[in-house]
Amino acid sequence: MSITFISAVIILLALGYFAWQLLWWIMMHQQDRDELQNQKKDEISKRRAVNYSILAKEMGDIYYSKPRYHPTRWYTPAPNYNGKYVTTDRYGLRIDRKKVRSGAEKILFFGGSTMFSTTTRDQGAIPEIINRRLRLNKMICLNYGIGGYSTYAEISAFCEALRRETNCRIAVFYDGVNEIAMYLEMIQSRLGDDFFTHAGFPFMSVTKTALKNYIDEDIKARLPRSIGIVMDALNVLADRFSSATASISLANRDIFQHAMAIATTYEYNIRILHGIADAYSVKPLFIWQPDIFTTKKRLTQWEMQIISNYPPFMPELTQKVKNLVIHNATLVGYGLIDGTGWLDDLIGDHFYDYCHVSEEANEIIAYEIERLIRETLIKSTVS
């Protein structure tokens, strides 16, 4: 055996060893960082006597373990879920149907995970806060927000709600972050065909799980139980190997074009939602929501660290999309509300990530939306 061959083997083994040590260090560093982040999130949650670890597990159950496939809006969270902090009805909505009084007028709330409120208990979701504040015996707020939904999915959800719920008076559409996030996921996935570009992209991680659950349930119903158990084990392994995602980068010269594409898709979806609302004599309220990139809140060290975890183009892209949306003549004509300044006066840690916020922050947002609802009700009474 030649000395050259032995040297090559030693070099390869050494490189493999150092590569393994580097990978191990990265994994441990990531684990330490995740633990620190969860500690901070738990600190924020404890201000309202919520154990964040339990809340996160329940959210993981309904979105990443047990979501249900939906043929027209991709997926729904697990239905009939009764956790310590999270409750869903038979449709996977964060609604306590026992509180829905017969004959009550409905205020429907649509949006993504910030409306569903994945960082708070049931009582901390925006619709539930407004329910407590309005105290109207003949009116109730219903939470149709679903994590990962953008305005395209809300079109189907709105149609469904109008068929299911009676006496719908107002519909609140609280959007923004998922218009951008789903567009970026589309670019990342390289699946940007005409349909996704024009309509909107699904939150693919939950969509895939929901579809897999649907297929597995159908197949396992036809197979012996032993084979079904083997399928479950294989699915767990498949999840482990398919969880990695590629990083995203946008050239500075292209940011405006991407912002324009996002704003255009949002406008066309809002046109459809406005038309549906008008046809059913429901008053729509369209709100562009706040996030960590658009707020003028004095950010804490923790919140500055959150920003550093996102691609460097995010602040500019988010601001450009916001400016295009709030100055769009059609959307202004529909009464679009710029809510990006609602959290400007908050003090302390309130962001869990770039868009999910504390229960205290939700109370401020709920106060602003409640004010808009009261103004809308007064105007409709006068007219």
Per-residue pLDDT of the chain (383 residues; tens, 9 = 90+): 566 656 655 665 655 556 555 554 444 444 445 666 789 999 999 999 999 999 999 999 999 999 999 999 999 999 999 999 999 999 999 999 998 888 899 999 999 999 999 999 999 999 999 999 886 668 999 999 999 999 999 999 999 999 999 999 999 999 999 999 999 998 887 665 677 777 788 888 898 889 888 887 766 555 555 545 544 544 443 443 333 334 567 777 799 999 999 999 999 999 999 999 999 999 999 999 999 999 999 999 999 999 999 999 999 999 999 999 999 999 999 999 999 999 999 999 999 999 999 999 999 999 999 999 999 998 877 65
Can you name the CATH fold of 52-382? Answer: Rossmann fold (3.40.50)
Closest residue by Cα to residue 64 from 81, 49, 39 = 81
Q: Is-contact 96 140, C-beta < 8 A?
A: no
pTM, entire model? 0.85
**107-120 burial string, b = 16+ CB within 10 Å, else e?**
bbbbbbbbbbbbbb
**How far is residue 177's CA from residue 189's CA, in Å, rounded to a whole number?**
18
> Which parts of 244-358 fold into alpha helices (H)?
255-279, 301-308, 314-326, 329-333
**How far is residue 83's CA from residue 62's CA, in Å, rounded to a whole number?**
10
**How far is residue 95's CA from residue 117's CA, in Å, rounded to a whole number?**
12
Q: Provide the residue ranges of all domains of the chain, joining segments of one domain with +.
A: 52-382
Q: Is-contact 285 171, C-beta < 8 A?
A: yes
Question: Both ends of the chain: CA-CA distance in Å?
Answer: 96
The DSSP element (H or E) to which 71 belongs, if any, is: none
| pLDDT at res. 13 | 62
Tokens 């406005």 locate to: 274
Q: Is-contact 288 336, C-beta < 8 A?
A: yes
**How far is residue 63's CA from residue 147's CA, in Å, rounded to a whole number?**
8
